[in-house]
Structure 1
Amino acid sequence: MIRFIKRIVYCFVGLLTFLLLMYLVAFCVGEPELNKDRYIKLYDDQNEIFYQSINNYSGQYVSLENVNPYFLKAIVSIEDKRFYQHHGFDYVGISRAIKTNVIKRKNSQGASTITQQYARLLYLTNEKTWSRKVKEAFFTLQLETHLSKDKILEGYVNNVYFGHGIYGIENAAQYFYKKKASELTLNEASMLAGVVNGPQYYSPLLHERKAKQRQALVLNAMYENHVITKSVLEATKKQTLNLAKEHSLNENMSTYYYKDTVLQELENLGYYNNQYLNKGLNIYTSFHQKYQDTLNQLIKEKDIQTDLQCAFTVVNPKTSQLQALLGGKDYSKSQYNRALHANRQIGSTMKPLLYYLALENGFNPTTSFLCEPTTFKLENQTTYSPSNFHKKYAYKDITLAQAIAVSDNIFAVKTHLFLGTENLYNFLRNYHIKAKNNASLALGTVNTNIYNLSNIYCNIASTGKYQPIYTIEKITDHQGKLIYQHKNKRTQTLNKESCLILSQLLTGTFNKQFSTYLSATMSNYQTKYTVACKTGSTDYDNLIVAYNPNILITGWVGYDDNRKMEQSEEKVITKDVTISFLNKHIKKESWYYPTSKLNAISINPLSGEFDENGIVYWFRKGTP
């Protein structure tokens, strides 16, 4: 027993000595850099700033004197009630957390102090590694040994996240209540203090009931810490949320999905870390403000009242520059970037990729297959029986030109099986898209996001030249020193002639001459100038890709929870937005020209026979 007690004493003394040594080292290292000069500025294609953040937040830095004391007392009570007593680590809280998590085996309980949270906000990412925890501990000690408690608290409330893209208490007060942080009431202050713990769960705009429950916990904590009386506690709980009628921080929040895409690319390039961020970063991008404004306005005009969501990208095929992006209909309500992260089934937008391979293997605009209900017997002895839209068939041979125009499923599957299913499967692998090598792949039974889909179509729209789409042109630090410069690495990965023939074929989707047993998919729409277009639809998703040599727009509409789209007006949003966008921004005719390896021939679009009054398509020279 005595030996056990000695071991406990030795461990305690060793731990105490280690902590004192750490405090000493943190003190000797010197005052921490609070990164008030740390910034990110994003510039558009006209070198105008469209987004900037100072010290990781957008907005005003306020002193504690300009924050209502109710909020300061509320945040301390709920987040770190011993903040003014401990020296960076709440050992009482740590002991309680260990007891709860390990001994009692209850739900996970943390013990992070405000100082620890502030250190994490200033210097660290959200990665859950031991190295990060060690860094967090050291930065916590450094803050505690050099700054007063009020300075730590001031930095914390100016950096903490409140959801909806809002950082800092002044911004939060403006956004939720249309008032300054100094003007907050107890009701409002306790509500905001509760949001900090989980902005996605406790936002009063998204989850009113949960927000009120969390506010009650904050008020109870304030009462237990003798900050408010019992009568004030009960009276405040009965009050309504008192939120502002409108919620906006600034008009540029509509650009935040694009901003998030840039920051993701910045991280992929290896520059989204403290080594570079602390020096300040000027990031010059391909952002096109007029394109973005048009997308925002068109979606706003749709006035979508349901949970229906959307995503759109606009790319320059000649450069692979991403010029505009929407990741949802309202960033303030959902920061989830669907353009980058929502992997959905792409439907018939797959077919042009299949037909590119067909053109590479001897097909031409007049190649024909019989269109009728068909059951295919596959190599694994199973059968596959696809059907056309509304189960309508021509019951005769149709041309590739018509199959593309009306999006015929039977023609697509026959082409897929004729070529061998591995061809399309391998084609997708070139773009890092994983699919199942099966018969239904021809009809788009693979999931990806529209950013990836745009990347593939950009390869076609650029007549076969490829480099991944991108946003960042160059990066400089606060002294103007060049850190990064994008290098054009476009290479010819697809056959130019096949891309040209395919693009010309995709103009047929607007042509009503093809509307016989099925309608041409874009026959109800007209564009001022020539455009290639392909739509895709499932019960749950609607997609579109449309382009000319200078602009490519890709769109998706659907529900996050994979709910079926029942209303007809929901199913045309992608078409309406895309065509309206193109008609506004295509200023003059800009279309491809056939190379010397191609002949332009007028054909009857239905029979495929030569017709001088028919539609002009491109054929490889020597085509019979």
Structure 2
Amino acid sequence: MRQFIKRILYCFIFFFTFLLLMYIIAFCVGKPELNKDRYIKLYDDQNKIFYQSVNNYSGQYVSIDDVSPYFLKAIVAIEDKRFYSHHGFDYVGISRAIKTNVLKRKTSQGASTITQQYARLLYLTNEKTWSRKVKEAFFTLQLETHLSKKEILEGYINNVYFGHGIYGIENASQYFYGKKAKELTLNEASMLAGVVNGPQYYSPILNKERAKQRQNLVLKAMYDNQMITQSILEATQKQTLNLASEHSLNENMSTYYYKDTVLEELEELGFYNNQYLNKGLNIYTSFNSEYQNTLNDLIKEKKIQGDLQCAFTVANPKTNQLQALIGGKDYANSQYNRAIHASRQIGSTMKPFLYYLALENGFNPSTRFLCEPTTFKLSNNTTYSPANFHQKYAYQEITLAQAIAVSDNIFAVKTHLFLGTENLRDFLKSYGINAKNNASLALGTVNTNIYNLSNIYCNIASGGKYQHLYTIEKIVDHQGKTIYQHKNQRIQNLNKESCLILNQLLTGTFNKQFSTYLNATMENYQTKYTVACKTGSTDYDNLIVAYNPNILINGWVGYDDNRKIENSQEKVLAKELAIDFLNKEIKKESWYKLTSKLNAIAINPISGNIDETGIVYWFRKGTP
């Protein structure tokens, strides 16, 4: 027993000696870099700033003297009640956490102080590794040995996250209550202090009941720490949350989805690290604020109800620049970027890829297949019986032109099997999309995001020239030195003539002359100027891609939880938004030009025979 006590004593001596040594080292290293000069500025295609941040966060930095005393007391009471007495680590809290976590074997309990949280916000991520914890401990000691408690608390409340894309107490006060931080009442301040522990869980906008429960906990902590009297506690607990009628900031939060996309690209390029960020970065992008605002306004006008979500990308096929992006209907309520992270089934937006391969293998707009209910016998001794929309069939031969216009499934599967199913699989693989080599692939039974889908369509819309979609044009450091410049690396990876023929074929989706046994898919959505278009729909997803040589929009509408889209109005939202956007943003006619290898020939839209009064399509010279 005596030996055990001696070992415990040695451990304590070692621990406190090590801790004292750490304090001395932290003091000798000097005042920590608070990164107040650390910034990111994003510029649009007109070299105007559309987003800027300090310390990675977009909150307005405010002096602690300009913050309500109620909030300062509330945040200390609930997050770190011994803040003014400890030196960075709450040993009482640590002991309690050890007792809870180890002895009682309950759910993990932490004991992070405000100083530790501030160190994490400034320098670290939330990864749960020992190396991160050691770094956090050292930065905590640096902050405590060189800054006053007032300075630490000021830095913390200006950097902490309140949910809905909001950082810092000033922005949070404006967003939730429409007032400055120094004007917050006890009722308002205690609610905001409660949100910090779980912004998504305790947000009063997302769940008022949980927010009120959390606020009561904050008020009780203030009472226990003798910051308010019992009468004030009880009176405040009876008050309603008193939120602002509208929740918005001066800045346009719809741009934040694009901002997040830029930062992901910045990381891929190797510049999203402290070596560059601490000195400030000026990032010049392809962002088109007019396109973004038009998209955002149209989505607001539609007043998309409930849990229904949407995502859109706008790109320039001539340059492969990503010019606008919507990752959801409201960034404040969901920061999940569906445009680049939501993997969804693409449906009939697959078909143009299949028909590009067909045009490369001798097909032309007049190529015919019989359209009738068909069961296909496959090489693996199984069968496949696809169906057309509403089980409608021509019961005669139809042309490739009509198959594209009405999105005929039988024609697509026959084409797919005729070419060999591996061809479409390999085509997708060349763009980084892994798909199964099966018959249903022709109908879009593969998942990807609309960013990747736009990337392939831009290749076709550009006449076969390819480079991956991008947002960053150049990066300039704080000294004005260009440390990155985008280089045009477009290559001709698809046949130009096949792309041009396909682009012309995709205009047929608007043409009512094709509406016989099935309707042309876009006959009810007309554009002012010539546009190529393809839609895709499943029970759970609605997609559209529409473009001319200068602009390409790709849209998706659906539910995050993959529930069925039942409402008929919801099923056409993607079409409406995309076409409304193009009608606002396409200012004049712009279409592709024939090359010396192509002829323009008018054909009967149904039979495919030459007809001077028919629809003009493009054929390779020498086509019979």
Give, in whole Å, the separation in 2 of the partners of 1:311 and 1:359. Answer: 31
| Superposition deviation, residue 486 in structure 1 | 0.8
1:159 corresponding residue in structure 2: 159
| Superposition deviation, residue 75 in structure 1 | 0.9
Comparing 219-228 with 313-322, greater Cα deviation is found at 219-228
Unaligned runs of 5+ in 2: none
1:193 corresponding residue in structure 2: 193
Matched, 1:564 2:564: yes
| Superposition deviation, residue 602 in structure 1 | 1.7
| Superposition deviation, residue 502 in structure 1 | 0.9
1:113 corresponding residue in structure 2: 113
2:13 corresponding residue in structure 1: 13
* 1:31-430 superposed matches below 5 A: 31-430=31-430
Question: Which digits, 9 at most, give the CA deviation of each residue in 1:507-556, with x for residues without a partner?
Answer: 11011111100000011122121111000111111110001111000011
TM-score under structure 1 length normalisation = 0.98
Give, in whole Å, the separation in 1 of the partners of 2:478 and 2:107. Answer: 45
| Superposition deviation, residue 388 in structure 1 | 0.5
Amino acid at match of 2:153: L
Give, in whole Å, the separation in 2 of the partners of 1:141 and 1:153. Answer: 15
| Superposition deviation, residue 446 in structure 1 | 1.3
| Superposition deviation, residue 222 in structure 1 | 1.7
| Superposition deviation, residue 59 in structure 1 | 4.0
Give, in whole Å, the separation in 1 of the partners of 2:364 and 2:416. Answer: 15
Give, in whole Å, the separation in 1 of the partners of 2:363 and 2:134. Answer: 62
1:441 corresponding residue in structure 2: 441
| Superposition deviation, residue 131 in structure 1 | 2.5
2:486 corresponding residue in structure 1: 486
Give, in whole Å, the separation in 2 of the partners of 1:99 and 1:59. Answer: 38
| Superposition deviation, residue 102 in structure 1 | 3.0
Give, in whole Å, the separation in 1 of the partners of 2:592 and 2:167. Answer: 47
Give, in whole Å, the separation in 2 of the partners of 1:91 and 1:268. Answer: 40
Give, in whole Å, the separation in 2 of the partners of 1:582 and 1:133. Answer: 51
Amino acid at match of 1:55: N
2:523 corresponding residue in structure 1: 523
Give, in whole Å, the separation in 1 of the partners of 2:93 and 2:272. Answer: 33
- Provide the secondary structure at the position in 1 that maps to 2:252: helix
| Superposition deviation, residue 36 in structure 1 | 1.2
| Superposition deviation, residue 382 in structure 1 | 2.0
CA contact (8 A) 2:82 2:90 kept: yes
Amino acid at match of 2:276: Y
Give, in whole Å, the separation in 2 of the partners of 1:566 and 1:306. Answer: 13
Give, in whole Å, the separation in 2 of the partners of 1:131 and 1:496. Answer: 53
Give, in whole Å, the separation in 2 of the partners of 1:501 and 1:101. Answer: 67
2:497 corresponding residue in structure 1: 497
Amino acid at match of 1:466: Y
| Superposition deviation, residue 489 in structure 1 | 1.1
Give, in whole Å, the separation in 1 of the partners of 2:319 and 2:125. Answer: 33
Comparing 555-564 with 95-104, greater Cα deviation is found at 95-104
Comparing 298-307 with 204-213, greater Cα deviation is found at 298-307
| Superposition deviation, residue 105 in structure 1 | 2.4
Q: How many aligned positions are there?
A: 624
CA contact (8 A) 2:59 2:159 kept: no
Give, in whole Å, the separation in 2 of the partners of 1:264 and 1:552. Answer: 22
- Provide the secondary structure at the position in 2 that maps to 1:176: helix
Give, in whole Å, the separation in 1 of the partners of 2:96 and 2:447. Answer: 45
Across the aligned residues of Structure 1 and Structure 2, the Cα RMSD in angstroms comes to: 1.4
Give, in whole Å, the separation in 1 of the partners of 2:12 and 2:126. Answer: 31
Matched, 1:462 2:499: no
| Percent identity of equivalent pairs | 84
Comparing 6-15 with 382-391, greater Cα deviation is found at 6-15
CA contact (8 A) 1:281 1:475 kept: yes
CA contact (8 A) 1:527 1:579 kept: yes
Unaligned runs of 5+ in 1: none
Give, in whole Å, the separation in 2 of the partners of 1:384 and 1:219. Answer: 65
Question: Which digits, 9 at most, give the CA deviation of each residue in 1:350-400, with x for residues without a partner?
Answer: 111111111122211111111111112222222221111010000111111
Question: Which digits, 9 at most, give the CA deviation of each residue in 1:46-79, with x for residues without a partner?
Answer: 0011111123332432222211121111111111
Amino acid at match of 1:533: C
Give, in whole Å, the separation in 2 of the partners of 1:24 and 1:157. Answer: 27
Question: Which digits, 9 at most, give the CA deviation of each residue in 1:315-351, with x for residues without a partner?
Answer: 0001110111111112222221111111111111011
- Provide the secondary structure at the position in 2 that maps to 1:618: strand
Question: Which digits, 9 at most, give the CA deviation of each residue in 1:211-235, with x for residues without a partner?
Answer: 1121122122222222223332222
Give, in whole Å, the separation in 2 of the partners of 1:433 and 1:202. Answer: 38
| Superposition deviation, residue 251 in structure 1 | 4.0
- Provide the secondary structure at the position in 2 that maps to 1:131: helix
Give, in whole Å, the separation in 1 of the partners of 2:387 and 2:293. Answer: 40
Give, in whole Å, the separation in 2 of the partners of 1:7 and 1:331. Answer: 55
CA contact (8 A) 2:602 2:617 kept: yes
Comparing 2-11 with 81-90, greater Cα deviation is found at 2-11
Give, in whole Å, the separation in 2 of the partners of 1:521 and 1:198. Answer: 46
CA contact (8 A) 1:51 1:252 kept: no
CA contact (8 A) 2:57 2:167 kept: yes
- Provide the secondary structure at the position in 2 that maps to 1:569: helix
| Superposition deviation, residue 434 in structure 1 | 2.3
| Superposition deviation, residue 264 in structure 1 | 1.4
Amino acid at match of 2:314: V
| Superposition deviation, residue 168 in structure 1 | 0.8
Give, in whole Å, the separation in 2 of the partners of 1:410 and 1:130. Answer: 58
Give, in whole Å, the separation in 2 of the partners of 1:196 and 1:404. Answer: 53
| Superposition deviation, residue 156 in structure 1 | 0.1
Give, in whole Å, the separation in 2 of the partners of 1:105 and 1:268. Answer: 41
Amino acid at match of 1:540: Y
Comparing 323-332 with 311-320, greater Cα deviation is found at 323-332
- Provide the secondary structure at the position in 1 that maps to 2:572: helix
Give, in whole Å, the separation in 1 of the partners of 2:416 and 2:276. Answer: 49
| Superposition deviation, residue 191 in structure 1 | 0.5
Give, in whole Å, the separation in 1 of the partners of 2:437 and 2:4. Answer: 64
| Superposition deviation, residue 618 in structure 1 | 1.6
CA contact (8 A) 2:533 2:546 kept: yes
- Provide the secondary structure at the position in 2 that maps to 1:521: coil
Comparing 348-357 with 588-597, greater Cα deviation is found at 588-597
* 1:507-546 superposed matches below 5 A: 507-546=507-546
Give, in whole Å, the separation in 1 of the partners of 2:519 and 2:40. Answer: 50
2:554 corresponding residue in structure 1: 554
Give, in whole Å, the separation in 2 of the partners of 1:238 and 1:515. Answer: 64
Give, in whole Å, the separation in 2 of the partners of 1:89 and 1:411. Answer: 70
CA gap of 1:128–1:428, structure 2 versus 1, over 3 A, is farther
Give, in whole Å, the separation in 2 of the partners of 1:137 and 1:227. Answer: 29
Give, in whole Å, the separation in 1 of the partners of 2:550 and 2:615. Answer: 23
Give, in whole Å, the separation in 2 of the partners of 1:466 and 1:54. Answer: 36
Question: Which digits, 9 at most, give the CA deviation of each residue in 1:186-210, with x for residues without a partner?
Answer: 1111100011111111111111111
CA gap of 1:326–1:386, structure 2 versus 1, over 3 A, is same
Comparing 447-456 with 232-241, greater Cα deviation is found at 232-241
- Provide the secondary structure at the position in 2 that maps to 1:442: helix
CA contact (8 A) 2:59 2:158 kept: no
Amino acid at match of 1:361: N
Give, in whole Å, the separation in 1 of the partners of 2:195 and 2:396. Answer: 64
Give, in whole Å, the separation in 1 of the partners of 2:98 and 2:403. Answer: 66
Give, in whole Å, the separation in 2 of the partners of 1:481 and 1:122. Answer: 25
- Provide the secondary structure at the position in 1 that maps to 2:40: strand
